[in-house]
Structure formats: structure tokens, C-alpha cells
Amino acid sequence: MLKQTAMIAALVLSTAGAQAATYNVDALANSSTGGTALSTITLAAGESFTVLAGIADLWSAGPLPRYSNANGLTANLFATGSDESAASAGTLIGQNWGSYTQDGFTAAYGRLVGKIGSQYFALGTNSGGTATSAGTLQLFYWDSNGADNFGSIAVNVSAVPEPATYAMLLAGLGLMGLMVRRRTSNT
């Protein structure tokens, strides 16, 4: 019986509260202008999260040179010959377009941006943070004119509950184990 309890406890601990999923963020449908936010996971205040996108996964704010990855249009980007642009290797497909401000928040054009509640924050190919308030993590393609955007990027979003949640879970499992042990010794 103790062995079964330990196995159940290990399984519960390995999955307790952890969330992870892959989402496709579309440059047109999820544009900060003219699109709608892509709702992902729900976070508790204080919960840590990560957002990962492939550095070679590209989307576009319109005709060349407007391709970028989730970090946005921040530097010159050249075609590899096998990327989404279908341009010949060495062709300039992206460059720095500066930044755009919306709702009091500023980020590079073409950047992956998150929002929880009313707070925006810049994300990118490898980013994360801690939710300052409870709510659903929403994702956007940051741009002033969503009408000519195209392409999408796949992002992996994951969250892990705060350590206090695990401490409470361990305490509860310990009490459960104690009760099982007491029951087996009384029989």
C-alpha cells in the first residue's frame, strides 16, 4: 500500500499544475491592429511561464524586406534559400523598421507580444517571466497595419506553479501517507 501511495504521489507531483502547449500565432489573424489576440494558458499571479519560438520560424509584415522571427524587425535578415520567404539565398528579406506604440506600449514591428489583463510585454524567440496578475496569456503579432501581414510561427508556451503550490501538495501527500501507514498498522 505504501508503494502505491508513493507511486501516486510521484505522478501527481510530476503533473501538478504544470501547463504546456504549442500554439500557432498568425501574423494577420493575431495582429495587434485588425486581428484578435490568441488566448493561450491561464496563469495565477506569481506563476512563471516561458514562451519559445524557433529562431528560423518566420512571419511577415508585408512585401520584402519585412520578414522576421518572433524577435521582430530589428536587424537585417537575409534569405537562406530554404526559408519561408522563397527568396534566393543572400536576398535581404528583413530589416529594422523601428518600433510601434499601441495602448501606451512600445515594441519592435513584427515582434511577438504578450498580454495578461491590461499589461503588455515583449516576448520573442526565447522569453518568459512571471505573471503579475492572474489571467490568460494572450499573444499578438505587433504591427500598425495588420492588413498585409502573412505567415505564422509556432510557439511553445509553458507554465509551472509557484513553489508554494508544490510545498502545499507535498504536505498533503505526506499527511495522506501518514494516514495510510496508520491504517495498515491498525489492521
pLDDT at 12: 47
CA separation for the pair 145, 156 (Å, rounded):
26
Mean pLDDT across the stretch 120-125? 97
Check whether 47 has a pLDDT greater than 70. yes
pLDDT at 146: 93
Tell me: the pLDDT tens digits for 145-158? 999 999 999 999 99
DSSP secondary structure, 61-107, as one string: SSSSSBEE-TB-S-S-EE--SSSTT-PPTT-EEE----EEEETTEEE
CA separation for the pair 68, 59 (Å, rounded):
6
pLDDT at 154: 98
CB atoms within 10 A of CB 143: 32
pLDDT at 126: 96
pLDDT at 6: 44
